[in-house]
Amino acid sequence: MSPPAADVDLGQPVAVDSLTDEQLKVPTKENNSNRLAGPLKSSGSLDSYEHFDVTPVIGAEFPKLQLSEILSNDNKIRDLAILISQRGVVFFRNQDISVEDQKVLGQKLGELTGKPETSKLHRHALSNSKRGIAVDENGKLDDEISVISSEQNRTYYKDRFGYNSKRIASEGWHADITFERIPSDYAILKIHTVPTDGSGGDTLWASGYEAYDRLSPPWQKFAESLTATHHQPNFNRVAKDFGAELIDGARGAPENSGLDFKASHPVVRTNPVTGWKSLFGAAHQLEAGWIDGVSQTESEIIKKYFLQLIAENHDLQVRFKWGRNDLAVWDNRSVFHTATNDYSGKRQGNRVVSLGEKPFFDAQSVSRREALEGLAAKA
């Protein structure tokens, strides 16, 4: 049975810009690691706003708060980042936030929780301004906005995104841009166009924290010893088949360049904001990838099992029905998500993807259940 949700005391709230030498990590030659020396605790600045947990394991919603009202308050944005990292995904209804403010929010969430100074907003190799899709009513084009377009998805990936597809829907589970050497921390999606019949097009998120906790102790140790190569070959296929121009360099971080779209990351990843372990090397980002250092047969067995944990455990998932201008923010280090392609009309929105730190596994980190059980024992 899943443990109840809880506010987790993981240290004192601090401003990243005012961290002391003791609170910062020991400097290294690398500049792509998170600057936090330990997990963060919320100051409680969002407690006065109406909100609720959507399920015991994952998801929270603020039904009335407008993000534009708190965008200039760094303490509230930091607390929001902490909440997103703890709950996995947070929902907001009917938002008036502009695309420019959405970009500001995306960058602030990571900056205020210690992401590397070289990590900016992602410029998607394919879903960028070169497709000519405007991000607002004024016809603005922006490489730092990934336009989520049902019409273009159906053009590029007919068998996967087409209405009434014969494909198994669980193939869609993924975390964003894990093929990059410096992948995402936070992502923000605002859907401004929903199917005209008012139904379909939901998105589901699944907790990587809870997926890790579903492993037996021997499997946890095994998974912690592994790395996996994440690979996305479809971009080069689309470029060849449709003449699409790809961005091959400066995709938001110096390390994110080239057209191989391939990176090796730990299978179990530590989230620096919470200090919790999450299953990370799993689902669609490994469909064309593999578990490193094992045979092909072993790799396929492991990949299949990890996908089962995500797709077949409905009690570690949350499902969100979009309304016009609804917005979701999630932590790509610790959740997977998938769209529901059960509609024939148009669905479109703007996604901002922040880049975080180079993925790492800290052997001293704990699981979500361990953190909550430790908190309960102190109560």
pTM for this structure? 0.90
**Cα distances (angstroms) measured from residue 121 to each of 105, 111, 318, 354:** 11, 11, 26, 5
In a domain, 350, yes or no: yes
In a domain, 29, yes or no: yes
In a domain, 234, yes or no: yes
In a domain, 315, yes or no: yes
Q: CB burial class (10 A; 0-12, 13-18, 19+) of residue 300?
A: middle
Q: Give the model confidence (pLDDT) of 221-246 as tens digits.
A: 999 999 999 999 988 998 898 888 89
**Cα distances (angstroms) measured from residue 122 to each of 100, 186, 345:** 14, 11, 28
Q: What pLDDT is attached to residue 150? A: 66
In a domain, 336, yes or no: yes
Q: What pLDDT is attached to residue 245? A: 87
CATH of the domain at 310: 3.60.130.10
Query: Looking at residues 101-111, what average pLDDT do you find?
Result: 98
In a domain, 10, yes or no: no
Query: Looking at residues 311-336, what average pLDDT do you find?
Result: 97
Query: Looking at residues 14-38, what average pLDDT do you find?
Result: 62
In a domain, 11, yes or no: no
Domain count, the chain: 1
The parent domain of residue 80 ranges over 22-378
In a domain, 14, yes or no: no
